[in-house]
Amino acid sequence: EVDAVEKTITEQYKEKTGIDCVHTITEPAAGARRVDLGYLIPEQHVMESISRAKELKADGNALFKEGKLKKALDKYHRMHFHIGGLIKKEGGMAGMMRQEKLSDEEKTEVTSLLGSMHMNKSMCYVKLEKWDKGLEACTTALSVGGVDEGKCLYRRGICYRKVGELSKAKVDLDAATLKAPSDVNIQKELKALASDRKASEDKAKKTYAKMFG
Render pLDDT for 56-101 as a digit per residue (tens, 0 to 9): 999 999 999 999 999 999 999 999 988 988 875 434 444 443 444 7
Highest mean pLDDT pick, 42-46, 101-105, 148-152: 148-152
CA separation for the pair 125, 202 (Å, rounded)? 30
CA separation for the pair 109, 104 (Å, rounded)? 9
Interacting residues of 188 by C-beta distance below 8 A, sequence separation 6+: none
Yes or no: say if 82 and 28 are a contact pair by the CB < 8 Å rule: yes
Tally the C-alpha atoms within 13 A of residue 145's C-alpha that lie toward its C-beta.
6
Residues 159-189 pLDDT 10s: 999 999 999 999 999 999 999 999 999 999 9
Residue 175: how many other CB atoms lie within 10 Å: 17
Q: pTM score, two decimals?
A: 0.74
